[in-house]
Amino acid sequence: MEKFTRLTGVAAPLPMVNVDTDMIIPKQFLKTIQRTGLGRNLFDEMRYDDDGNENPDFVLNKPAYREAKILVAGANFGCGSSREHAPWALLDFGIRCVIAPSFADIFYNNCFKNGILPIVLPQEEVDKLLDDAERGANATITVDLEKQEISGPDGGTIPFEVDPFRKHCLLNGLDDIGLTMEKVDRIEAFEKAYAARAPWAA
Amino acid sequence: MPQPKTLYDKIWDAHLVHEDPDGTSLLYIDRHLVHEVTSPQAFEGLRMAGRRVRCPEKTVAVPDHNVPTDIRRAERIEDEMSRIQVEALRANAREFGIELYDVDDVRQGIVHIIGPEQGWTQPGMTIVCGDSHTATHGAFGALAHGIGTSEVEHVLATQTLIQKKSKNMKVEVRGSLPLGVTAKDIVLSIIGRTGTAGGNGHVIEYCGEAIRELSMEGRMTVCNMAIEGGARAGLIAPDEKTFAYVKGRPHAPKGEDWEKAVAYWRTLFTDEGAHFDKVVVLDASEIEPVVTWGTSPEDVLPITGVVPHPDEFEGGKREAARRSLEYMGLEPGTPLRDIEIDTVFIGSCSNARIEDLREVAKVMEGRKVKEGLRAMVVPGSGLVRAQAEEEGIAQKLIEAGFDWRMAGCSMCLGMNPDQLAPGERCASTSNRNFEGRQGRGGRTHLLSPAMAAAAAITGRLTDVRELMSS
C-alpha cells in the first residue's frame, strides 16, 4: 500500500447525500479480476451518457477537476455494497482523500486498506470546503495526515480526527496482513482454547 | 455481579484474540463465505505473497453474483468476463483446498441462502463474506457482516479480522403483525424511520414479539437489510426455532457436539439491564405493507400513501428527493397504487427462500400475471428450487405466467443478463433501489414477496390486503 503523508491537490465538489457504491462504480465493472483500471469508469453512469460520451456537466469532466485528488461530498458517502472496487476506482482515478460529514462503515474501512484517507468533518466545515472546491483549479487543498490538518486556499486550517492505528498504517504504508501475521502465536493459542470450549465450531 | 452484556458483547468477547490499548482488536472468524466477484484479487494477493489459506475447512465458495439463471448455464456462460470470474473461483477453490458449490451443483445458490441451508451458519459464530448482505446470517444470533476484498484476503490468510467494536443499538418491534404485513415490511419500515445512516457505527439487535413470531426465513429478511439501515450487522437472539432450523443440516453439529452447542447457544441473549447506545421502538400494529418510491431504501411509504414532494424534506435530502423523483419518473402527489410497472422480480438474498415462494404462490392462487408483464422468480438456491418443485409451487407459478429461473443473485444487481432496460419499472423483492442497480436507467420499487405477487396480478403497485379480502 502506498503511504499517505501529505497530499496537495484540487478538490472536486460532489454535494450529494447518500452517494452509494453503485454510483461510484456500477456492477458491470465488477467483473474484473484485477484491482487496477477502474478509474475510467468511476461514477460511470453520471460521467457518461448512454452512448459513452462524457457528460460535460459532471464535475470530474470539467477541465478544472480532471486531475482532482480530493473529493468533497455529502453525508453517508459510500453506502451500499461492500465492493472494494469503489475505493479502487477512486484511487485509479487519482483521488486519495474523500471528505464528507459521514461515511458508510464498510466503505470507510475499505479506504484505509488502499491508501485513501476518508475524513469526517462537521457539515458546516464540509460546506466551507465545498465552497472552496467550487473555485476549481484555483482551489488546491492540502491534507496533512501527520498534523491531522486541512489547509484551504485562503490559508485557514481545519483539524480532523483519525483513528491512531489507522493513521499509523497509512503514514507508513503498512500491510494489515503482515501486522497480523506477527501475532500468529496468539491466534494459535486462541484456536487451541476455542477448540476445547466450542469443538463444534473449531 | 458481572456486568450485564448484550448479545453482541457476548459474541464479540468469545472471539477476541487480542485487544490493543486503543481498542483495535483482532477478532477470530468462524466461517468465511466466498463468491466470485469480491475474491479473485484476494486469492491473487495470497499467491503473490506466497501465503496459504489458514483454515480452508472454515471457508466455502459459491458463484452467485454473475451466473446466468437460464437452464443451460452449466454448459457455458456466454459473457466472457463473468465466465472468467467463475472459472477463477473454481481454480482458486481447487488450489487452496476450499469446498465449492459449483454452477451445476444443486447446492449452488446465493451465498447468504446456502450458508444457513447447509448449516454453515450457526448461533454465536462470527461469519464474514465479501458482500454487505452478510448481515443476513445475524438471524441465527451470529455476528455476521460484509467485508471488502482486502479483508477477504486478511481472513483467508489469518482467519481473523482487525476490528474496532461497534456500538449497540436495539430495535424492538412490539406486538403482532397485522394481516398482509410481513418481515420485509418490518425492515423497510424500520429503515424508513431511522434512515440509511441510522445504524452507522452500530450493530443492531432486533427484538420484540413481532420478531420472535417471525420464521427463520422472515428473520433472515430482517437482518439482511440491516446494512440498508447503515448497520454492518443485525442480530436476533437464537431460540427453539433457530435450533430446529439448524438441526440435521450437513454442517450442523452432530451427536454430543450438538448437545454442547445447544447448551451454549441458550446463553446467547442480551442480559437484563445491558446497555444500548441507541434504542428504536416500533409498534407492529402500525406497520402497513410498504413500497419504496425513490432511489434510497429509506424512501419508504405505506402503499396507501402518495409520492412525496421534495419540499417535504430538509437539507441535502431535498435535492436527493428531487433527483430521485426525476430518475424514477414520478410526480409528487401521485397515489403509489397508481404506479404502473413493467417487471416483477422475485428473488435475492432478501426474499428467495422457500417461505417467500410459498407467500407468492398463496397470493397467486387462482390468478394470473397480468398480460404483457415480465415476471420472474429466481429461487435463492438449487435446493429451494427443488423444494418448490416438489411442493408444486413451481408449477403453479409457471402456470400463472412466471418465468421460473435457476438460482443466483440475478436482477437484484443485474451483473448477469437479467437486467432492466432504461426506464423500465420493476416491483422487486430485492434490497436496493439505487440508480442503475437493476440495469442502467431501470426503476426499482422494493416490496415484500406478497406485494410483488399483487403487483404482478394488477400490473401496478397494489395493496395486497385488497386481494386477500376478495
Question: What global pTM score does this model have?
Answer: 0.96
For the record, the C-alpha cell of A98 comes out as: 474523500
Interchain CB distance below 8 Å, B148 and A106? yes
ipTM for the predicted complex:
0.94
Instruction: Give, rounded to a whole angstrom, the gap between the first and last alpha carbons of chain A.
Output: 33
Q: How many helices (H) and strands (E) does chain A have?
A: 8, 7
Q: Where are the beta strands (DSSP E) in chain A?
A: 6-14, 70-73, 97-100, 117-120, 140-144, 149-151, 157-159
Interatomic CA distance for residues B356 and B430, integer angstroms? 12
B85: left (phi > 0), else alpha (psi -120 to 50), else beta? alpha
Interchain CB distance below 8 Å, B160 and A187? yes
- pLDDT for the residue A1: 85
Q: What is the CATH number of domain A6-172?
A: 3.20.19.10
The mean pLDDT value for A2-20 works out to 96
Interatomic CA distance for residues B189 and B231, integer angstroms? 15
Task: Label residue A115 by pLDDT band (50, 70, 90).
Answer: very high
Report the percent of chain B where pLDDT is more than 70: 100
Q: Considering CB atoms only, which of B81, B131, B159 is closest to A187? A: B159
Chain B positions touching A103 (Cβ under 8 A) are 200
Q: Is the pLDDT of residue B468 over 90?
A: no
Q: Considering CB atoms only, which of B132, B253, B436 is closest to A106? A: B132
pLDDT digits (tens, 9 = 90+) for B253-306: 999 999 999 999 999 999 999 999 999 999 999 999 999 999 999 999 999 999
- Determine how many CB atoms are found less than 10 A away from the CB of residue B22: 11
Chain A positions touching B323 (Cβ under 8 A) are 16
Taking a contact as any Cβ pair under 8 Å apart, which residues of chain B between 155 and 174 contact chain A?
157-160, 162, 164, 166
Task: Label residue B199 by pLDDT band (50, 70, 90).
Answer: very high
Q: Which residues neighbour A165 within 8 Å (Cβ) at sequence distance 6 or greater?
A: B20, B22, B24
Task: Label residue B469 by pLDDT band (50, 70, 90).
Answer: low
**Extents of the domains making up chain A:** 6-172
Q: How far is CA B394 from CA B32, B285, B378, in A?
A: 32, 33, 11
Q: Is the pLDDT of residue A178 over 70?
A: yes
- pLDDT for the residue B470: 53
Instruction: Confirm or reject contact between B153 and chain A (CB < 8 A).
Output: yes
Chain A positions touching B131 (Cβ under 8 A) are 81-82
Q: In this structure, what are the phi and psi dihedrals at residue B290, rounded to the nearest 5 degrees?
A: -120, 165
Chain A positions touching B30 (Cβ under 8 A) are 201
CA distance B393 to chain A (A): 32
Residue with the three cell numbers 459464530: B125
pLDDT digits (tens, 9 = 90+) for B261-273: 999 999 999 999 9
What rounded mean pLDDT belongs to chain B? 97
Instruction: Confirm or reject contact between A97 and chain B (CB < 8 A).
Output: no
- pLDDT for the residue B201: 95
CA atoms within 13 A on the CB side of B7: 32
Taking a contact as any Cβ pair under 8 Å apart, which residues of chain A between 22 and 51 contact chain B?
22-23, 26-28, 30-35, 45, 50
Interchain CB distance below 8 Å, A200 and B149? no
Q: Considering CB atoms only, which of B122, B197, B435 is closest to A75? A: B197
Higher pLDDT, A86 or B468: A86
Taking a contact as any Cβ pair under 8 Å apart, which residues of chain B between 257 and 316 contact chain A?
257-258, 260-261, 264, 296, 315-316
Interchain CB distance below 8 Å, B435 and A22? yes
